[in-house]
Structure 1
Amino acid sequence: MDTVGIIGCGAAGLCAARQVLATGKYKPQVWELSEGLGGTWRYNPDTGRDKYGIPIHSSMYQNLKTNLPKEVMSFPEFPFPTGGDSFLHHTKIVQYLKDYAEHFNLFQYIQFEHYVENVEPIPQEEGFPHWAVTVKDLKEGTTIITVCQAVIVCNGHYSVPRIPKLPFIEDFQGRQMHSHDYRDSSPFKGANVLVLGSGASGLDISLEISTVANKVMLSHNLPSPNQSKLPPNVTQVKGADSAYPKGFHLVDGTSVEADFILYCTGYEYSFPFLSEKCGIEVTKNQVSPLYKHLINAAMPSMGFLGIPFQICPFPFFDFQSRFFMKVMTGELDLPSLPEMLEEIEKDHQESLKKGVPEKHFHNMSIRQWQYTRDMAEMAGLETTMPVIEKLFTAVREIRNKTLMTYKSTTYIITGPETFECVH
C-alpha cells in the first residue's frame, strides 16, 4: 500500500493514522520527536531543550485539567469511559490517547524519537506530488528519506511561544516567563505578577498562581472584563503598553508595579521542516494557501490538521482527517487551484469585514460547526452530533460566568441532541 507520512503523534496525528488505515488503500507512517505519544498533552517537567538539544515541545503544566468536558472531547468512534468527572487531568487524556492507539492497532506505525528535518515535494507527471521526508533517528543518529504519496502535518501549534516586544522591557528588573515554560505555581510565591493575556491559559494559570502570589494582575485589552468572580488578590487591568524598572505602564495611562511578568500571549505556527518548495507561508498568524484551513491548495496531497483554534479539538481533527482522505482516495474532487485560491481570499475578506483581526483568521469558535456542515455536504461525511455543539456552547458560557467553579460540574449526554448536568 502507498504511504501517508504523518508528522507528530498527538491527538491529531493519531486520528490521522486511524483514518489513513480506514481507507484500506494507504498505510500511515508516523514520526514523533518525543519518547511517547500525546503531543501537547504529554507533560514534561523540564523546560528549554531536551537531551538532543531540541526545544521541548509540550506546554503542559502539572495541574492542568481540561477546560472542556470529556463528553465533547472524544473521537466519534471511541468515547471516553462513562461516569466520573467530566473535566479531566492531562494524564487521563494521555491514557485515553494510548487506549485509542491500542484499540486501532496504531503503535506499529509510529516511530518515536524521530525528528523530521525536511519535507520536499516530488512532482509527478500526473496527479498530486509525492513527498520526500527526511527523518533523523535521534537515538541512533542516522537519517533516512522516506517517499510518501501524501503528508499530513500534525505538529501542533502550542510549542513556539509568541512573546510581544514591550518597549523598554530590557529595563524591567523583575522576572519574565512565557506560559510555555510554566509548570507549577512555586516560582510565584509572594510575588506581584502581571499576567499578560486572558485567554484560556491566562485565566487558568492566574487562578492557580493566586493561591501563592501576593497579587495577580490579569492584563488584557478585551472590550469588557471577565464577568466571573475571581479570587480577592486577582484584579483585571488594561494591557501593558511599556515597561519600567519596577513594573509596567498600561494603555489607559495608569501604571502597576510588578516583580514578575507571565506572558500568556499564545504561540506561533511553525513548520521548520517544510522546504520552500512546499509553498507554505506563515504571515500575520495565517498559514497559506490552505483550502478549508486544511489542504495545501497548490499541492493537495499535503494536509494540515488542527490549524484552527478555539475548537472542539478531537472531533474536529477526526473530521478533517476523514475529509483529507476522501481527497486522497479520489472520492472527493477538489475545485481547481484558481477556484480554491479565490475561495481562500473570499473567506479572508469576509473575516476582515466582520472586524476579525488578521491574526485571528484561523479562530473558528462558533464558525466550526458551519465549517464541518459545509464540508460534510461536499464529501458525503457525517457531521458532529448536535449535542456536541450544544454542550460545547453551554460550557463556554458557563465558564465565562463561573471561572472558579465550572470544572466541578459533571455532564452526561442523554441523546443525539440532549445532555444533563449533574453535581
Structure 2
Amino acid sequence: MQKQRIAIIGAGPSGLAALRAFESAERAGAAIPEIVCYEKQDDWGGQWNYSWRTGIDQYGEPVHSSMYRNLWSNAPKEALEFAEYTFDKHFGRPISSYPPREVLWDYIDGRLRSSNARDKVQFATAARWVQYNEATDTFTVTVEDLKTRTTSSSEFDRVIVATGHFAYPNVPSFEGIETFPGSVEHAHDFRGAEMLADKRVLMIGSSYSAEDIGVQAYKMGARSVTLSYRSKALGHDWPQGMEELPLVQRIEGNSVHFINGEVREFDSIVMCTGYIHKYPFLPSQLAIDSPNNVYPSGLYRGVVWQENPKLYYLGAQDQWFTFNMFDAQAWYVRDLILGRTALPSVQDRAAHIESWSKRFSELSCVDDEVRFQADYIRDLIENSDYPMFDLDSVVEIFIAWQRDKAENVLTYRDKQYRSVMTGTMSARHHTPWMRELDDSLQRYLSQPEKDEIAKMLDDEDVTESIRAN
C-alpha cells in the first residue's frame, strides 16, 4: 500500500503539536506517513516568533505574528503546560508562573529541538492554494518558495491547517477617525509600549489584548489609558490614570466622544478589536466561516472539517487553554490519520456537532466557558493516547487567575501556581513585574544583584506588610 502524504500548513504551536504527535508515534515504533510542513516565516513558533516588522515582511507577505516585544504571559503557564514535556523538564528548575515571550518561545522550541522535526518543515514557503480533487480523493497543494520565488504543486492525501486565527485583524471604522492627528494602529501591528510613554492612550476593545497592552502602556509611563468597551466592561479596580468608558461614538481631531456623553483627548489609538477567520489559500468550501468563539461552526470535535473529513484544523478556537489543547487536537487528528481511531458517519458527526453547539449556546458566564473548553479537551484525550491531566485543576487555576486580576491588575503576574503535571510550585521571579523592564531570557533566568532602588522599595514593601499586620 502506498504511503500516505500529509501536508501541515503552518509551524506555529499548532503545527508543532502535529509534528510532535507524529514524532511521538514514530518513537513508539509506529509507521507514520510522509509529512511536509509549510511555514512562511524563516523559523517556527508562529505568533511566538517575534518580528519587529509590521504590515509586510521581507518577502512581501502579510506579517503573521501579532507578538510585541515586552509581552509576558497573561495567564499562568501552569494552564498551558504540555502534559508530556513539562517546564521542569525543559528548564531543570522551577520558574515563575508568568514568563516573558522569549522564555515561552524557548519552551516551545525546546520540545522539538533534539528531534528530526525540522527536516519536515519547508521554511520561507507560503501556501498559495489547496484544491481538493474529487476523482482521486486527494489534495493538490500549491506553494511558493519565497526566497527563490518559485511555485510548485504536490499531491497529498490529507491536509492539516495549523495557521491559527490571529493574523488577520478585524479593523472597524468610526465616524471622524480620519481627522485624528495621532497614531492609529491595530494590536496586530503593536510592537512595544515604550512609544506610548507620556501619551494619552485609547484602547478600543475590552478583550485581553486591550487589557494587556493598556497595562503595558501604564507600566511604560503613559500619561493616561482609557479602554473603550462595546458590550461589557472588564470591570477591574484600575489604578489612577486608567479608566473604562463605553463605545466610541465619533472622533473630532484629538477629541473622542463616547456614547455616554463623555469626551476625552488622546494622542494615540490602539484597536484591540479582534481577528477574523481568513484562509486565503483555501477555497470557500474548505474554509471556516465563523465568528471567533470557543466552538467554531463546521468542525467535528473542533478539528475535522465536516464537509471533507480529510481536512483538519488545529487551534481554530478562541482559547483559554492553548498549548496543551493544541496537543490534544493534534494527537486526535494523528490517530484518525493512522487509523487508530474511527471516524463516525457523517450523520453521527453532525449529531455530535449539534449537541456541543447547543451546549455552547447555553453558556452563561466566563467560568462556564472555561469548563466547556476543559470538557472539550477531555473528550479529545479520551479518544487518543495523549496523557490525561487534571483538567479540573487547570479550570481552578483559570478561575483563580480571574480573581487575581480583579484584586490587582498590576500585580497578578507576581502570583505563584502549582503545576498540575509535576506538582512543582512555581518560583517567585526575582523582580516584581511592574519593576521588571528587561524581558530577555537571559535576564529572566539570572539571579541579578538588587540595585539600591530595588532594596529601598523592598524595604518599603516589608514595612507596609508589618504595618498591615
Is this a same-fold pair by TM over 0.5? yes
Within a 5 Å distance, the mapping from 1:269-418 to structure 2 comes to: 269-276=277-284, 278-285=285-292, 288-354=297-363, 365-379=370-384, 382-386=387-391, 387-413=393-419
Kindly tell me: are residues 98 and 223 of structure 1, through their superposed partners in 2, closer, same or farther at Cα, counting changes over 3 Å?
Answer: closer
Deviations 1:168-192 (A, max 9, x none): 3233333211111111123323322
Structure 1 residues 338-347 or 96-105, which shifts more? 338-347
Equivalent residue number for residue 34 of structure 1: 41
Output the amino acid matched with 1:289.
G
Output the amino acid matched with 1:326.
D
Q: CA RMSD in A?
A: 2.6
Cα distance between partner residues in 1 of 2:63 and 2:195: 20
Equivalent residue number for residue 181 of structure 2: 173
Deviations 1:292-351 (A, max 9, x none): 221101111111111112322110000001111222222222232233234434544443
Hey, which of these two has a bigger chunk of helix by percent?
2
Deviations 1:30-53 (A, max 9, x none): 111111111000111121101211
1:412 deviates by: 3.4
Output the amino acid matched with 2:330.
S
Output the amino acid matched with 1:3.
R
Deviations 1:129-153 (A, max 9, x none): 3221111111111112121221111
Cα distance between partner residues in 1 of 2:154 and 2:80: 33
Instruction: Please state whether the residue corresponding to 1:190 is helix, strand or coil.
Output: coil
2:55 equivalent among 44, 48, 53: 48
Equivalent residue number for residue 156 of structure 2: 148
Instruction: Please state whether the residue corresponding to 1:117 is helix, strand or coil.
Output: strand
Cα distance between partner residues in 1 of 2:128 and 2:167: 17
1:381 deviates by: 5.5
Cα distance between partner residues in 2 of 1:85 and 1:189: 27
Is 1:106 aligned to residue 117 of structure 2?
A: yes
**Which TM-score applies when normalising by structure 2?**
0.81
Kindly tell me: are residues 405 and 320 of structure 1, through their superposed partners in 2, closer, same or farther at Cα, counting changes over 3 Å?
Answer: same
Output the amino acid matched with 1:79.
T
**Which TM-score applies when normalising by structure 1?**
0.89
Q: Does the CA contact (< 8 Å) of 2:418 and 2:424 recur in 1? A: yes
2:258 equivalent among 242, 250, 261: 250
Deviations 1:12-65 (A, max 9, x none): 111101213325322321111111111000111121101211111111111111
Cα distance between partner residues in 2 of 1:388 and 1:281: 29
1:118 deviates by: 0.6
Hey, which of these two has a bigger chunk of strand by percent?
1
Is 1:72 aligned to residue 99 of structure 2?
A: no
Equivalent residue number for residue 209 of structure 2: 201
Q: Does the CA contact (< 8 Å) of 1:207 and 1:231 recur in 2? A: no
1:379 deviates by: 4.8
Cα distance between partner residues in 2 of 1:348 and 1:164: 28
Kindly tell me: are residues 95 and 414 of structure 1, through their superposed partners in 2, closer, same or farther at Cα, counting changes over 3 Å?
Answer: closer
Cα distance between partner residues in 1 of 2:120 and 2:212: 36
Kindly tell me: are residues 281 and 395 of structure 1, through their superposed partners in 2, closer, same or farther at Cα, counting changes over 3 Å?
Answer: closer
Kindly tell me: are residues 391 and 272 of structure 1, through their superposed partners in 2, closer, same or farther at Cα, counting changes over 3 Å?
Answer: same
Kindly tell me: are residues 405 and 163 of structure 1, through their superposed partners in 2, closer, same or farther at Cα, counting changes over 3 Å?
Answer: same
Instruction: Please state whether the residue corresponding to 1:411 is helix, strand or coil.
Output: coil
Kindly tell me: are residues 18 and 124 of structure 1, through their superposed partners in 2, closer, same or farther at Cα, counting changes over 3 Å?
Answer: farther
Instruction: Please state whether the residue corresponding to 1:394 is helix, strand or coil.
Output: helix
1:290 deviates by: 1.1
Structure 1 residues 253-262 or 26-35, which shifts more? 253-262
1:240 deviates by: 1.6
Q: How many residues matched? A: 412
Kindly tell me: are residues 215 and 311 of structure 1, through their superposed partners in 2, closer, same or farther at Cα, counting changes over 3 Å?
Answer: same
Instruction: Please state whether the residue corresponding to 1:139 is helix, strand or coil.
Output: coil
Instruction: Please state whether the residue corresponding to 2:243 is helix, strand or coil.
Output: strand
Kindly tell me: are residues 144 and 334 of structure 1, through their superposed partners in 2, closer, same or farther at Cα, counting changes over 3 Å?
Answer: same
Deviations 1:97-118 (A, max 9, x none): 2211223321111111011101
Instruction: Please state whether the residue corresponding to 1:243 is helix, strand or coil.
Output: strand
Structure 1 residues 394-403 or 139-148, which shifts more? 394-403
Q: Does the CA contact (< 8 Å) of 2:277 and 2:291 recur in 1? A: no
Kindly tell me: are residues 392 and 350 of structure 1, through their superposed partners in 2, closer, same or farther at Cα, counting changes over 3 Å?
Answer: closer
Give % identity.
28
Kindly tell me: are residues 92 and 378 of structure 1, through their superposed partners in 2, closer, same or farther at Cα, counting changes over 3 Å?
Answer: closer
1:85 equivalent among 96, 99, 105: 96
Cα distance between partner residues in 2 of 1:421 and 1:114: 39
Instruction: Please state whether the residue corresponding to 2:370 is helix, strand or coil.
Output: coil
Equivalent residue number for residue 10 of structure 1: 12
Is 1:183 aligned to residue 202 of structure 2?
A: no
Equivalent residue number for residue 443 of structure 2: none
Q: Does the CA contact (< 8 Å) of 2:95 and 2:426 recur in 1? A: no
1:121 deviates by: 1.2
1:274 deviates by: 0.7
Cα distance between partner residues in 2 of 1:167 and 1:414: 49
Q: Does the CA contact (< 8 Å) of 1:6 and 1:153 recur in 2? A: yes
Structure number with larger C-alpha Rg:
2
Cα distance between partner residues in 1 of 2:326 and 2:315: 6
Equivalent residue number for residue 234 of structure 1: 242
